[in-house]
Amino acid sequence: MEFVKKGTYVQIHQIVLQSDERAANLPEDTKKVPLEMWVKGYLNHDAKLGEEVEITTLTSRVVRGKLVEVNPSYKHDFGKFVPELLKIGHDLRLILKDGE
Amino acid sequence: MSDLSYNAVMGRRNEIMKKAVKIDYSKFQTSKIAFDYDKMMRETGYSLQEVQEIQRSVGVGNTPLIELKNLTNLARKLAPKGKGARIFIKDESCNPSGSFKDRRAAISVYHAKKLGYKGVVAATSGNYGAAVASQAAMRNLNCIIVQECYDSRKVGQPEILEKQRKCECYGAEVVQLTVGPELFYTFLRILEETGYFNASLYSPYGIAGVETLGYEVAIQCREQIGCDPDVVVVTHAGGGNVTGTARGLIKAGALNTKIVGASVDLTGLHMASDKDFNRKSFTTGHTGFGIPFATWPDRSDVPRSAARPLRYLDKYVTIKQGEVFYITEALAQLEGLERGPAGNTSLTAAFYLAQQMDEDKVIVVQETEYTGAGKHHMAQLSFAKENGIDVRFGNPEEERAGVNIILPEHPSLIRAREVELGKLKKSYIKNCIENYKAETVDMTDVEFLAEDTKQDKQEVINILTELGVKIFD
């Protein structure tokens, strides 16, 4: 288990509402799962990944939850190349040139 | 310590909101249903000139209005002879955080600072979060953004993940949740815990901020082409964009300009469904917000929403996801403007509507938004494919949200499909009757409903009679 030092920037996970505590009138698939939350902040004490911890967020709120990531990074990107998009420009230029 | 259970917090909703917005909405109530909208906007909002000054002080507004000559030419090639209006676009991506939402955030955050709040909170997965975070950074206020971001597998919508990054780059704290309307519960808890200002999209400040957009469109058209726009197309979701833009045009005296709302058609997808969440490629500007917020604007996070789209809409159209992606690519390739897909919803509608209008007419698309990793049509289409959505060329009429995305085989297949506004107006009136439990109404209510649905009193009376509601003088 990875040890994480007090003061490290981390992300924690918390169950906000268990499935049986959720609002009425939810679709079936949503009703079956809990409402979950992720928050980032500075770890208030030494801990191991996966442990229940306490953090202080950027607005100085103290929040508790399970330690899930250290120095959480951004992973979103432009996805895989979509060749269809390139064809659109090609087709439109032809229409503009030919005066279809 | 107060009870933090779901029911207890929801029960304190009005009390929490009163502290977090500092507007006493009850003083505008004039009857069971009716409230004095103009008075609310006048007394709690800011004048157009004040809004302009506030926005100028933070570099918001005065964005360029650009003529899309190649797209106009393309539309003319597809249209009958003599048809094909000039298409212009207001490049709102030039605002500090990259969208028109800076206009709304500028006023809300200014107001929060003026009232002495230490921070602002906004519940949003969209560009508004980035806008509030950016404005809060400029005004030295703390900022918390509450997002609906992941499904139960912790798969995040790429566009929303990008918004998280952008908010955090401005120093904001981002609270991320899985799918569900109980986001509002978390939002209320944070407001209660922090005592921060609710930078609601639906407060009079949030709407006053958009008025400058409509105003600028009118003034720039007069300066650049010597006339008012014939049509302004506005992407419609919560109603604030339509409302603010229309009010701004009216304030500029552009009284003959028609307002067309446009939303992406997501019919068939449930907005609170864990499974449907990542089967859609648009996180806003779609019918999942557009229709409910038109037929019940007061569903928002404040008691009386300042965004009331049916007051201003002349026409409402829907377009398909594949059509927007196609036009987004066309905007980059033909006009050299690489912009985010969600902001091009209204452009897609305008491309079709221009083909119905005479060549000497002017149609204005009033927004663009920034683009980048995650919130890019390539990222969205790639994500859709990964989630089992069939992406292919074909006839957009065959598109079914959550099943496939059809890129038009030819640009002539792009269409804007009209939604019957009469039905939405009737549905809104019915919702008023049900939600206010009004078995009887008076003429003040009738007059309010007539204004709020842009129709005459007799039409409202006919609808009320049909619903079996008694009207007293």
Q: Does residue B1 belong to any structural domain of this protein?
A: no
User: Do residues B178 and A35 make contact, with C-beta atoms less than 8 angstroms apart?
Assistant: yes
Residues B186, B258: one domain?
no
Residue B32 identity: K
Interchain CB contact of A64 with B (< 8 Å):
no
What confidence category does residue B114 fall into, taking pLDDT thresholds of 50, 70 and 90? very high
Domain end, chosen from B155, B171, B202, is at: B202
Mean pLDDT of all residues in B320-342:
97
Domain end, chosen from B202, B227, B261, is at: B202
Q: Where are the domains of chain A?
A: 3-98
**Greater pLDDT, B210 or A100:** B210
| Residues of B (137-156) whose Cβ lies below 8 Å from A | 142-144, 149-150, 152, 154, 156
Task: Quote the crossing angle between the two packed helices B345-354 and B69-78, to the nearest 10°.
Answer: 50
Whole-number percent of chain B with pLDDT over 90: 96
How close is the nearest chain B Cα to the Cα of A68, in Å?
12
pLDDT at B1: 66
Residues B321, B291: one domain?
yes
pLDDT in tens, B214-249: 999 999 999 999 999 999 999 999 999 999 999 999
> Cα angle vertex B262, ends B257, B263, to 5°?
165
Residues B383, B464: one domain?
no
Residues B108, B128: one domain?
yes
Taking 80 as the threshold, does the pLDDT of residue A56 lie above it?
yes
Residues B147, B235: one domain?
no
Residues B180, B104: one domain?
yes
Q: Does residue B174 belong to any structural domain of this protein?
A: yes
pLDDT at B300: 84
Residues B274, B354: one domain?
yes
Interchain CB contact of B387 with A (< 8 Å):
no
Taking 60 as the threshold, does the pLDDT of residue A99 lie above it?
no
The distance of Cα B464 from the centroid of its chain, to the nearest Å, equals 29
Nearest to A92 among B142, B377, B411 (CB): B411
Domain end, chosen from B202, B236, B269, is at: B202
pLDDT at B284: 87
Number of domains in chain B: 3
Q: Does residue B255 belong to any structural domain of this protein?
A: yes
Q: Does residue B141 belong to any structural domain of this protein?
A: yes
Residue B156 belongs to domain spanning: 6-53+99-202
Q: CB–CB of A29 and B182 under 8 A?
A: no
pLDDT in tens, B248-265: 999 999 999 999 999 999
Q: Does residue B114 belong to any structural domain of this protein?
A: yes
DSSP B241-287: HHHHHHHHHHHTT-TTPEEEEEEE--TT--TT-TTTGGG-S-SSSBH
The enclosing domain of B264 has a CATH number of: 3.40.50.1100
Q: Does residue B286 belong to any structural domain of this protein?
A: yes
Taking 70 as the threshold, does the pLDDT of residue A100 lie above it?
no
Residues B313, B401: one domain?
yes
Nearest to A22 among B144, B182, B334 (CB): B182
